[in-house]
Amino acid sequence: MPSQFMADWVRSHFGERLTLAWKTVLPVVRNVRVIAAADAPRPAPLLILEESPALTERDPSAPNFDPRYRFETFIVGKANEVAATAARTLATSPTVSFNPLFIHGGTGRGKTHLLHAIGHAFLARNRGARVVSMSAEKFMVEFIRALKENDTIGFKQRLRNADLLLIDDVQFIAGKDSTQEEFFHTMNEIITAGRRLVITSDRAPQDLDGIAPRILSRLSWGLVADINSADYELRFNIIVSKLEALPGVEMPRPVIDFLARRVTSSIRELEGALNRIGAYAMMTGRPIDVAFVEEVLANVLRANQRRISIDEIQTQVAEHYRIRKAEMTSARRAREVARPRQVAMYLSKQLTPKSLPDIGRRFGGRDHTTVIHAVRQIEKLRASDAELDADIRLLTRQLEG
């Protein structure tokens, strides 16, 4: 493909269908890769066919890390900085004070990116190191196959002799007693031998139902790092970074701001939205503005639309200013209470579709003119009070997720 952007777009939209089509025509085909053109002045092939295992001798456990997923391309923010720092430390330091590293977070937040980045960095510093990377589901499948083929020794040696073992989505072995038994002994062998182990999951260890207590206990010996939902600032920075890899795609700052505020479900969906916008812009030749984005991402934006309630605003503002939530509806006029109440009214006007009378009623039955006064007062103060302006920006980001 002429660019990495186009390769990513074709892969995400047609990858499975391309693979199925080639396998139908040529059964020896195992996989189809869509790649970007190299820098050399020659046309790159659209497809590279990985040879069938029958034609080449290849260790099925040999890691095949995605070249896009490196520490250099992982955008760090408050939501993921602990996990990112721990991952880099484990991959690059001669010694580490924690083992295993357990990374957990919801779908599409960057766990797999970090696994691949760890693999890249570890191999770069340890040439010839034995690295095994697999999902927990694949661990289970290969273990069952080894049992059927009476080759458990080979299975154990391949995993337990690894200098670095990476296991993705450990929640998939929940309730699988025999697999968990083998997994526990593999963990013990790796850790006791001073080798390195990284495990990911979609939830924290204490929330993993169906996982043996001794496995959970072993996990707690290491470092548990979570990846939270990306906040506005992180989403904004990710968009800016991704745009650098999309040649010919120009996106004004208001559009970046719009996307960062509206596409909040996951980083994966945000990246997909960027690819879609870029593809449509290239195909139609239209400039990228907010109206264009709303048209292209209509379904995505509807799915991401989250109703912020006045109750949420009152709770968040009360916590921020360290006052009781009940003060939001009280009659007290002391400045330490009145100012946070005005901020909450202002945010209710900005972030909810509620009318001024509705907002007033939720703040202790106040008149709509009181709400108007609060909104105007905060708007005026924001222009001269940098601290208040920073407070409102922070509260807005927290409420919008």
Judged by DSSP in three states, 298 sits in helix
- What is residue 58's predicted lDDT score, i.e. its pLDDT? 42
pLDDT for 302 equals: 77
Question: What integer pLDDT is reported at residue 206 of this predicted model?
Answer: 85
Q: Do 312 and 360 form a contact (C-beta atoms < 8 A)?
A: no
Q: Which residues pair with 104 in a beta bridge?
A: 201, 226
Contact by Cβ (8 Å): 193, 161: no
From the list 206, 60, 81, 210, the residue with the least C-alpha distance to 146 is 60
pTM over the 0.85 mark: no
Task: Count CB-CB contacts under 10 A for residue 21.
Answer: 13
pLDDT attached to residue 37? 57
Question: Dihedral of CA 10/6/236/68: which sign?
Answer: positive
Q: How many domains does the chain have?
A: 4
- 65 within a domain of the structure (yes/no): no
pLDDT at site 41: 40
State which of 212, 227, 242 marks the end of a domain. Answer: 227
pLDDT at position 261: 84
Residue 350 domain flag: yes
Could you give the CA distance from residue 223 to residue 241 in angstroms, rounded to a whole number?
29
Residues 107 and 221 in one domain: yes
Q: Which domain holds residue 107?
A: 71-227
* 114 and 173 assigned to the same domain: yes
Pick from 194, 227, 260: which residue ends a domain? 227
Per-residue pLDDT 10s for the chain (401 aa) are 556 666 776 777 667 666 765 654 455 566 777 776 544 343 333 333 333 344 334 444 457 899 999 999 999 998 899 999 999 999 999 998 999 999 998 888 999 999 999 999 999 999 999 999 999 999 999 999 999 999 899 999 999 999 999 999 999 999 999 999 999 999 999 999 999 999 999 888 888 889 999 999 998 889 999 998 888 889 999 999 999 888 778 899 999 998 998 888 788 989 999 989 988 888 888 999 999 999 999 888 876 666 678 988 999 999 999 999 999 999 998 999 999 999 999 999 988 878 899 999 999 999 999 999 999 999 999 989 999 999 998 998 888 76
Residue 178 located in a structural domain: yes
DSSP calls for 60-108 = TTS----TT-SGGG----TTTHHHHHHHHHHHH-SS-S--SEEEEE-TT
Shared domain for 177 and 105, answered yes or no, is: yes
